[in-house]
Structure 1
Amino acid sequence: MVQKRQTHSMSSIADNIGSVTRRIQKATVAAGRDPDSVHLLAVSKTRPPEAIRAAVAAGQTAFGENYLQEALEKIDALQDLSELEWHFIGPIQSNKTRQIAESFAWVHSVDRLKIARRLSEQRPDGLPALNICLQVNINNEASKSGCRLEQLPELVDAIGELPNLSLRGLMAIPNPDQPEGELRLSFRKLAGTLRALKQAHPEAGPLDTLSMGMSGDLETAIAEGATWVRVGTAVFGAREKKPAQG
């Protein structure tokens, strides 16, 4: 009986991925954008390796993790799946940068130069440049990580000099309690900021990425230019609360 429930849960993940993929495609077409211009990042924090395997069986390859130790255990447990692309999307402490630099293809949550420098210095030889996004505190919330908009130009210039990083763009987690109109303006502000940075700092990196939008607001984010949407609940189902960890 337990096995039957588990199988149903795994097939639900496949159904969910199909549903989210259709939402993304519909929103992309409605925005008049290339259907391949938006990617799904399945946020797998607190989810077991078996759930990730089910998502991979449904065609998903990019997974976002917030907690380093938990992520490393899953990366190890799933190393037989060579197609996986791991994204770190949580707050970064200085003492965690080496393992992040060694184990991930993308980091969406770089918010200061010290962290960027450490990631560049600690990226192992033989691996491609680490793709990074700068996390922006788009609504200037005291409780949120991220740099302020006015700090970005100096940060972009400095990071452009770091040899083992590829500066791909910006990430934000706008306040989800905003009215939809204000949320849309937050996404629009981030997109406009990326365009301005790309024009002013052509040597800094590709600057082709907007990591914004989650399960509840991905359509709005895509309408305003998101290229990665970070979706957990709509892929894996509701999760139990987990205390924060390193």
Structure 2
Amino acid sequence: MSIAQNIAEIKSHIDINKVKLVAVTKNHDVSAMLEAIAAGITAVGENRVQEMLSKHPEITAHAGRTVEWHLIGHLQTNKVRQAIPVADLIHSVDSERLALEIDKVAGKLNKRQDILIQVNVADEASKFGVRPEQALPLARLISQLENVRLCGLMTIAPFSENAEAVRPVFKELYQLFGELTAMNLANTEIKWLSMGMTNDYRIAIEEGSNLVRIGTGIFGSRK
């Protein structure tokens, strides 16, 4: 199927008034991205800062600022200065050190940077993110920063051929999201629960996700 047909298929399974669809564009070229945008995609997600920066000028020239840029991959502190001018939402904040660096750089640019805390719910050694018990203390710290706005939580579930197997991961993050919301922290806008990818987004939505990150389901296998 074409990119447009793939997007239509995905949208048939989600309520786009309640769930934000982010097209993960890692290793896909600008022409494919523009095809997705023409088919209704309003947010793109990149894993690497350099790839985001390389694509941003041409996409912006064609689509303007109607397209949101989400940084969904691990962000090193030495890449923050490059990421902040472009990223609308950073999904992958996983340490006090990174949050403080984002705050410092955003302040110099007179920007309030929207972020999510990445939580490694399944405690996978191969993935980044704080442990669940570390998420709320980090949220309290972030709420004290002037140039950062915490908007919610993100997780990457373990890959499984059986999507049902990862349902407990999504349930746990949804519970944590509820606890975070109930804290009513100052200087935050808790609204995004980013969980679910091509293989498991329908399960994630059933468990409360309102932001899904889909790459292969839209663009096919990465080049």
User: Helix, strand or coil for the counterpart of 2:181?
Assistant: helix
Shift of 1:96: 0.1
Shift of 1:203: 2.3
Q: Distance in 1 between matches of 2:179 and 2:118?
A: 16
Q: Which residue, 181, 205, 209 being the options, matches 1:222?
A: 205
| Consecutive unaligned residues in structure 2, runs of 5 or more | none
Counterpart residue number, 1:65: 46
Contact 1:24 1:218 in 2 (8 A): no
Contact 1:215 1:230 in 2 (8 A): yes
Shift of 1:199: 1.2
Q: Distance in 1 between matches of 2:161 and 2:121?
A: 12
The aligned amino acid for 1:119 is I
Counterpart residue number, 1:19: 9
Counterpart residue number, 2:148: 165
Counterpart residue number, 1:150: 133
Counterpart residue number, 2:189: 206
Contact 1:87 1:108 in 2 (8 A): yes
Kindly tell me: are residues 16 and 226 of structure 1, through their superposed partners in 2, closer, same or farther at Cα, counting changes over 3 Å? same
Shift of 1:201: 4.2
Counterpart residue number, 1:96: 79
Counterpart residue number, 1:5: none
Greater Rg by CA:
1
The Cα offsets for residues 137-169 of structure 1, whole Å up to 9 and x where unpaired, read as 001111110001111121011100111211111
* Structure 1 segment 25-174 matched on structure 2, within 5 A: 25=15, 36-80=17-61, 81-82=63-64, 83-123=66-106, 125-127=109-111, 129-174=112-157
Q: If the length of structure 1 is used for normalisation, what is the TM-score?
A: 0.85
| Consecutive unaligned residues in structure 1, runs of 5 or more | 1-10, 26-34, 241-246
User: Helix, strand or coil for the counterpart of 1:210?
Assistant: strand
Task: Choose 218-227 or 176-185, whichever is displaced more.
Answer: 176-185
Contact 1:101 1:120 in 2 (8 A): no
| Percent of aligned positions that are identical | 37
Q: Distance in 2 between matches of 1:117 and 1:76?
A: 28
Shift of 1:101: 1.1
Shift of 1:79: 2.1
Contact 1:102 1:122 in 2 (8 A): no
Shift of 1:118: 1.1
Contact 1:121 1:164 in 2 (8 A): yes
Kindly tell me: are residues 179 and 79 of structure 1, through their superposed partners in 2, closer, same or farther at Cα, counting changes over 3 Å? closer
Shift of 1:202: 3.2
Q: Distance in 1 between matches of 2:92 and 2:55?
A: 20
The Cα offsets for residues 98-137 of structure 1, whole Å up to 9 and x where unpaired, read as 111111100001100111111121125454x221110000
Kindly tell me: are residues 75 and 214 of structure 1, through their superposed partners in 2, closer, same or farther at Cα, counting changes over 3 Å? same
Shift of 1:52: 0.8
The aligned amino acid for 2:36 is A
Task: Choose 99-108 or 177-186, whichever is displaced more.
Answer: 177-186
Contact 2:164 2:203 in 1 (8 A): no
Q: Could you say what the CA RMSD is over the residues aligned between the two structures, in angstroms?
A: 1.6
User: Helix, strand or coil for the counterpart of 1:190?
Assistant: helix
Q: If the length of structure 2 is used for normalisation, what is the TM-score?
A: 0.93
